Amino acid sequence: MTLSEIKGRDDLPRHIAIIMDGNGRWAKQRGENRIYGHRQGAGAVREVIEASAEIGIGYLTLYAFSTENWNRPDDEIDALMGLMVKSMNDETKTLVENNMKLSVIGDVGRLTEDVRLRLQDTVELTAGATGMHLIVALSYSSRWEMAEAAKAISRDVSRGLTDLSDIDEKLFSSYLGTSGIPDPELLIRTSGELRLSNFLLWQVAYTELYFTETLWPDFGRDDYYMAIADYLKRERRFGLTSEQLSDNK
Ligand code: IPE
Ligand code: IPE
Ligand code: MG
């Protein structure tokens, strides 16, 4: 499928989430160190953001760094954080000019102050934007996010702000980092790994999953259109039968 065939369709995913994986292997294949791979990966990030805005995707969530990634070697963590700051320095102007809103989900308290403040700056600058919403999952773990939600709900119940009988799926969702953001219709993971690695476990309950062997630094517009085209071919049944769906059309 080409851009012109995708653009303007009324059944496009509103929200796409991506597990950007394979930077290390991409670098290794070229005899380079892992950090080189992360640097190249930043280029793919830019391309996917641009393509998403062109197609008219409302929300794009990118898994940039997991809680488990804190266990990587210090020099790799430093390089990833440095790249995050560099991307913010380079791209904030573009985000503002294109009316894009940036949010960060995850345990940001673990980030160093400079990284946290740099991100906060862009989040505040773009807070009023009404165009595409870009959500970066950083120091993120879905189980952590859910445990935090459980804690916050308990706190509100014990203070009398919420009633035990009010706790349902909708309320629980509103306590997650993704509060107010619709669940993704499509989740893409690159590099051939067939797992979720602690990403949006609650939010992907009914998401269509797409896995590709392409390593993240090689992931470009054509791969992205291919993933979206694959999504558009699927029948999303939500527990119903195929016949029920065609009767309701
Ligand atoms: C994804 O690439 C980027 C992050 C997890 C930060 P990896 O660094 O996981 O690359 P591989 O999986 O080792 O190839
Ligand atoms: C998942 O990739 C996290 C990000 C893409 C940021 P990993 O490379 O860390 O995942 P595992 O360890 O292979 O499951
Ligand atoms: Mg990986």
5 pLDDT tier (thresholds 50, 70, 90): confident
Over residues 169-195, the pLDDT tens digits come to 999 999 999 999 999 999 999 999 999
Residue whose CA is at the smallest distance from ligand 2 atom 2: 21
Whether the CB of 217 sits within 6 Å of ligand 1: no
The pair of three-digit structure tokens given for residue 5, joined into one six-digit string: 């065939």
Of the candidate ranges 5-14, 59-68, 147-156, the one whose mean pLDDT is the lowest: 5-14
The structure's pTM equals 0.97
Is the residue at 3 inside a domain?
Answer: no
| Whether pLDDT at 43 is above 80 | yes
Q: Is the CB of 137 under 6 A from ligand 1?
A: no
Can you say whether the dihedral through the CA atoms of 148, 205, 209, 175 is positive or negative? negative
Whether the per-residue pLDDT at 249 is higher than 80: the answer is no
In a domain, 114, yes or no: yes
Q: How far apart are the C-alpha atoms of 200 and 66, rounded to whole Å?
A: 11
> What pLDDT shows up at residue 133?
98
Ligand 1 contact via 72 beta carbon (within 6 Å): no
CA quadruple 194, 200, 204, 208: dihedral, nearest 10: -40
Nearest bound ligand to the CA of residue 18? 2
Band (79; pLDDT cuts 50, 70, 90)? very high
Query: Ligand 2 centre and the CA of 23: distance in Å?
Result: 10
Tell me, what's the pLDDT at 1?
74
Residue 155 CA to ligand 2 center (angstroms) comes to: 32
Nearest atom (ligand 1) to Cα of 27 = 14
Task: Report if residue 2 sits inside a domain.
Answer: no
Establish if 5 belongs to a structural domain.
no
pLDDT of residue 4: 83
54 belongs to a structural domain: yes
What's the domain range around 244?
12-248
Query: Model confidence over 85-123: pLDDT tens digits?
Result: 999 999 999 999 999 999 999 999 999 999 999 999 999
Contact 15, 183 (CB under 8 A): yes
DSSP character for 216? G
Report the C-alpha gap between 170 and 235 in whole angstroms: 25
Of how many residues is the chain composed? Answer: 249
Residue from 18, 19, 25, 193 to probe ligand 1 pocket by mutation (most atoms less than 8 Å from CB): 25
| CATH code: domain of residue 74 | 3.40.1180.10
Residue 21 CA: nearest ligand 2 atom is 5
- Into how many domains does the chain fold? 1
Q: What is the pLDDT of residues 145-172, one digit of tens each?
A: 999 999 999 999 999 999 999 999 999 9
Looking at the CA of 139, which ligand is closest? 2
Does residue 46 fall inside a structural domain? yes
- Please choose, from the candidates 233, 52, 77, 228, the residue with its C-alpha nearest in 3D space to the C-alpha of residue 135: 52
Separation of 173 CA from ligand 1 center, angstroms? 28
Q: Is 21 in the pocket of ligand 1 (CB under 6 A)?
A: yes
Residue to substitute in 69, 191, 193 for testing ligand 1 pocket (most ligand atoms within 8 angstroms of CB): 191
The pLDDT-based confidence of 7 (bands split at 50, 70, 90) is confident
Q: Using the predicted structure, report yes or no on whether residue 45 has a pLDDT greater than 80.
A: yes
pLDDT, residue 66, reads 98
Closest CA to 136 of 78, 80, 207: 80
In a domain, 138, yes or no: yes
Q: Is the pLDDT of residue 80 over 90?
A: yes
Q: What percent of the chain has pLDDT over 70?
A: 100
Residue 218 dihedral angles phi and psi, to the nearest 5°: -90, -5
Residue 19 lies in a domain: yes
Cα separation of 202 and 56, whole Å?
A: 25
Note the pLDDT of residue 3.
Answer: 81
The string of pLDDT tens digits covering residues 23-35 is 999 999 999 999 9
